[in-house]
């Protein structure tokens, strides 16, 4: 007798064994690692993050090791770096870039990787401090260079006479009595030109606010000059990005608090638009970072800029990362990374396409700890954008 139940049974079993419908993977949550904390290497305090990804894919995280107090220069400050060769998952020990002497501290680092040579440049201040600086005895700007992926660094090279102060023959520098590079990030343009933004005061003028100038090198950072036109006369630490149309965008710390300020140059820094406010980027007068994540002409599906900043108009708290698809005109995507008190931050694109964020995060009586965070475009956009 033919068993008419078996085909139906086998069909039912096959249905039960069928794999479930494919679901989109949940974007990975941010991963946090404390890199610098009170007591590390005998230091009481750490501040001022800087971050870069080298040509070899190594991640470099730099900080001020403020040995005895949280104060800015003049202070006993060392510049130190930790390295990660696995996209920020594990980190090596501290390496000293510049060690203080009884007379001089070093701080406020800005990093840039020269794609032409592979060298990493660390640009930083030393000496008397910004507010004590004069045209006759200026706060110094220095460079240390690494040619071995951040393992060792050259001794501080003072480039101050090239930029301003005694011995500088650039007429544009004549009114400047003090300056320092905006810590965190410098910039290499697509044509190889190196830039960093500075905050500067003028002789005889009351400050703050500060002027924002740009310094430029056409030879891999061996020589530098101050461009003559300030991007702003009411700013502080600033960051630069190159736009898709080759214009320059400068993001400016707002000394009045409220909202981040910005300006654009269409002629390589000869002139700048009048500074305006990004009403979708709150700024409690804090340093943040601006990063080119992707560019269509380099094969990406979309142009993307990232900005990190405490998302608060009055207090340094809620360090967040914002995303722009229209070259910085608007910032429609933003997510909080550190909801509590948090300050300066720096960004980099990691070799695996993830985003690296280095942030000052409140640590009670110890001031700040400095934390590295791995996050993704997918997490920022709740899975709506995979970053390609």
Bridge partner residues of 226 (DSSP): 215
In 3D space, the residue among 252, 234, 56 whose CA is nearest the CA of residue 149 turns out to be 56
Name residue, tokens 């601006």: 290
Would you give per-residue pLDDT tens digits along the chain (388 residues)?
A: 334 433 443 333 343 344 444 446 789 999 999 999 999 999 999 999 999 999 999 999 999 999 999 999 999 999 999 999 999 999 999 999 999 999 999 999 999 999 999 999 999 999 999 999 999 999 999 999 999 999 999 999 999 999 999 999 999 999 999 999 999 999 999 999 999 999 999 999 988 889 999 999 999 999 999 999 999 999 999 999 999 999 999 999 999 999 999 999 999 999 999 999 999 999 999 999 999 999 999 999 999 999 999 999 999 999 999 999 999 999 999 999 999 999 999 999 999 999 999 999 999 999 999 999 999 999 999 999 999 9
Phi/psi-derived region of residue 220, left when phi > 0, alpha when psi is between -120 and 50, beta in every other case: left
Alpha-carbon Rg for the chain, nearest whole angstrom, is 23
DSSP conformation letters of 261-317? EEEEESSTTSS-PPPEEEEEEEESS---EEEEEE-GGGT-SS-EEEEEEE--SSSSE
Neighbours of 223 (CB within 10 A): 11
Domains, the chain, ordered by start: 33-380 (2.120.10.10)
Element (DSSP H or E) covering residue 167: none
**Residue 263 CA: distances (Å) to CA of 133, 156, 331:** 27, 32, 15
CB 341 within 8 A of CB 316: yes
Residues 227-231: contacts with CB within 8 Å, 24+ apart? Answer: 227/172, 227/269, 227/270, 228/171, 228/172, 228/270, 229/269, 229/270, 229/271, 229/272, 230/200, 230/272, 231/197, 231/263, 231/265, 231/269, 231/272, 231/275
> For residue 304, with 0-12 CB atoms within 10 Å meaning exposed, 13-18 middle and 19 or more buried, which class applies?
buried
């Amino acid at each position: 007798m033919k068993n008419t139940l078996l085909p139906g049974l086998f069909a039912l079993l096959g249905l039960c064994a069928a794999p479930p419908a494919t679901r989109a993977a949940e974007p990975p949550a941010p991963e946090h690692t404390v890199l610098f904390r009170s007591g590390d290497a005998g230091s009481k305090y750490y501040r001022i993050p800087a971050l870069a990804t080298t040509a070899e894919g190594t991640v470099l995280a730099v900080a001020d090791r403020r040995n005895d107090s949280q104060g800015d220069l003049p202070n006993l400050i060392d510049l130190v770096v930790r390295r990660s060769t696995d996209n920020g998952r594990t980190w090596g020990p501290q390496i000293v870039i510049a060690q203080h002497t009884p007379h001089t501290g070093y701080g406020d680092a800005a990093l840039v990787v020269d794609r032409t040579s592979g060298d990493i440049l660390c640009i930083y201040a030393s000496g008397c401090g910004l507010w004590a600086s004069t045209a006759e005895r200026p706060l110094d700007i220095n460079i240390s260079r690494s040619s071995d992926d951040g393992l060792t660094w050259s001794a501080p090279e003072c480039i101050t006479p090239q930029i301003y102060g005694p011995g500088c023959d650039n007429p544009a520098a004549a009114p400047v009595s003090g300056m320092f590079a905006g810590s965190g990030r410098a910039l290499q343009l697509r044509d190889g030109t190196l830039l960093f933004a500075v905050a500067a005061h003028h002789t005889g003028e009351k400050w703050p606010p500060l002027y924002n100038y740009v310094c430029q090198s056409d030879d891999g950072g061996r020589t530098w000059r101050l461009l003559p036109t300030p991007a702003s006369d009411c700013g502080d630490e600033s960051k630069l990005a190159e736009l898709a149309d080759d214009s320059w965008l400068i993001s400016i710390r707002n000394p009045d608090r409220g909202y981040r300020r910005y300006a654009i140059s269409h002629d390589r820094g000869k002139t700048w638009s009048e500074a305006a406010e990004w009403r979708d980027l709150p700024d409690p007068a804090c340093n943040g970072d601006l990063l080119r994540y992707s560019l269509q002409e380099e094969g990406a599906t979309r142009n993307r800029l990232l900005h990190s900043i405490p998302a608060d108009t009055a207090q340094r708290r809620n360090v967040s990362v914002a995303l722009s698809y229209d070259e910085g005109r608007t910032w429609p995507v933003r997510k909080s990374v550190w909801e509590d008190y948090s300050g300066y931050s720096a960004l980099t694109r990691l070799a695996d396409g993830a985003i690296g964020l280095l942030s000052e995060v409140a640590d009670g009586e110890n001031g700040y700890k400095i934390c590295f965070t791995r996050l993704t475009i997918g997490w920022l956009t709740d899975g709506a954008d995979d970053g390609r």
